[in-house]
A and B are shown apart, each in its own frame.
Chain A
Amino acid sequence: MKFKIKSLYCIAFALQFFIILSLMLTPTSLNAQTEVTKNAQVETSHAGTGIRVAPGELLPISVKLSNFGGGKRVDVLIRYSIFNEAGEEIYGNDETVAVETTANFVKTIQVPVGAAPGNYIAKTSITYGGQKVPATTQFSFTVERKIFGMFQSDLITFGGIIAVVGVIMIFLGRALRKHRRSMRLTPFDYSAIPHDVRTYYEILSDTIMEMRGRVGDEALLIAAAVDGLEINKETGQVISISGRPSKIIATLVFEYENLLGEKASFSLRKSGQKI
């Protein structure tokens, strides 16, 4: 008789409880459906960026059982289930825990390896002695395949972003190279130079630019060191020449060949050719 009273006492306390099931690492809050005793509440919260797992991965569930009261241990049977969109249970596992007043623990359940991508519901229900109303809580999650350790959708998103950034970088790089090249190869205007020596200026300028395009700014340094030749050391524009122009050109070409091992090609502009 005494034993019976004690059991009823425990059951009475167990009727008032909270089950808080929360998915770890998720910030939003869900109101879970529940059917427990009058005063019982079930809250589910999660922190993170949405609940996604890959087939075969572990789904952590934070479980909180509270308000059992009475200081007596109550054996609670917990069933963890996963249901697909068709309402079919694709996973089920039972375990029994002894609860006095409160119990907190994390349970990890393995999503079946064969689970197809889609939306699922993780349902947790408890059963204990003398229970009159079932207590259940649930949350939904998504199963998505992983490729190279990344979720498929993330991979597509990141891949897309990387591809777009890559294409932009390629275009920018090309535009920059083209701009630099055009800056280097745009002929300077020597129309202000007297006609009898203008062609020499143009040959010098073309030779310097052509060589700069091949070996870089070293071509400017070599040109700047040629006797009788004054150039803009930034752009390569010929500012003035003194002495025999053909000798200056011959010296420049010789220096390029001697110091760089490069023979110089050049072009001549037609009289009156626009640049």
Chain B
Amino acid sequence: MKKTILIVEDEKSLREAIADILRRNDFLPLEAVNGKEGVELALSKHPDLILLDLIMPEMDGMTALKNIRADAWGATVPTVILTNLSASNEQLIDDVVTHKPMHYLIKSDWKIHDVIKKVKDILEMKDVV
């Protein structure tokens, strides 16, 4: 059965590029254009992993993660933050520590293929556990 990956990203081209590569790697991508839609999709579809942008319209990524973590299922779903926002803000650090994404990745430093590799690593680790 294909693993489901939820991509919460407002930048269409990046979202579609990630979805396309995920499909080619035998994943089933779900796409959300903002945090609000991301929370809805996450809680309804229960994806195996969430790729989450932070700065988005309507609802930012950290608020979305907070809402997802509040759910019993969402408390443990592996999440990877994929953003261009530098973690140089104390509140952001505290939120990261509280809501525990698995990775905090700077978009500009990561190729999509390397992100997909992280996704695979996480899911393999999850399967082992």
Instruction: Given A203-B96, A203-B97, decide whether A264 and B106 contact each other with a Cβ distance below 8 A.
Output: yes
Chain B's nearest CB lies how many Å from the CB of A23? 65
Contact of B86 among A199, A200, A257 (CB under 8 A): A257
- Verify A203–B103 contact, CB threshold 8 A: no
Q: Chain B residues with Cβ under 8 A from A251's Cβ? A: 88
Grouping DSSP codes into helix (H, G, I), strand (E, B) and loop, the B interface class, with mixed when no group exceeds half, is: mixed
Q: Chain A residues with Cβ under 8 A from B102's Cβ? A: 267-268, 270
Q: Chain A residues with Cβ under 8 A from B108's Cβ? A: 263
A-B pair number, CB within 8 angstroms: 61
- Verify B87–A250 contact, CB threshold 8 A: yes
Complex Cα spacing A192 to B101, Å:
23
- Verify B101–A266 contact, CB threshold 8 A: no
- Verify A250–B90 contact, CB threshold 8 A: yes
Complex Cα spacing A250 to B86, Å:
9
Give the B interface residue count (CB, 8 A): 22
- Verify B90–A268 contact, CB threshold 8 A: no
Q: Chain A residues with Cβ under 8 A from B109's Cβ? A: 262-263, 265
Give the A interface residue count (CB, 8 A): 21
- Verify A199–B103 contact, CB threshold 8 A: no
Asked if A19 is at the interface of the complex by the 8 Å CB criterion, the answer is no
Partner-B contacts on A (CB < 8 A): 199-200, 203, 244-247, 249-251, 253-254, 257, 262-268, 270
- 9 A-B residue pairs with Cβ-Cβ distance under 8 Å, sorted by A, are A199-B97, A246-B90, A246-B93, A250-B93, A253-B88, A257-B86, A257-B88, A264-B86, A268-B102
The 3 A-B residue pairs whose C-beta atoms are closest, nearest first, are A246-B93, A254-B88, A263-B106
Known contacts A254-B88, A263-B106; can you find 6 more A-B pairs with CB under 8 A? A199-B100, A200-B93, A246-B90, A253-B86, A263-B84, A266-B104
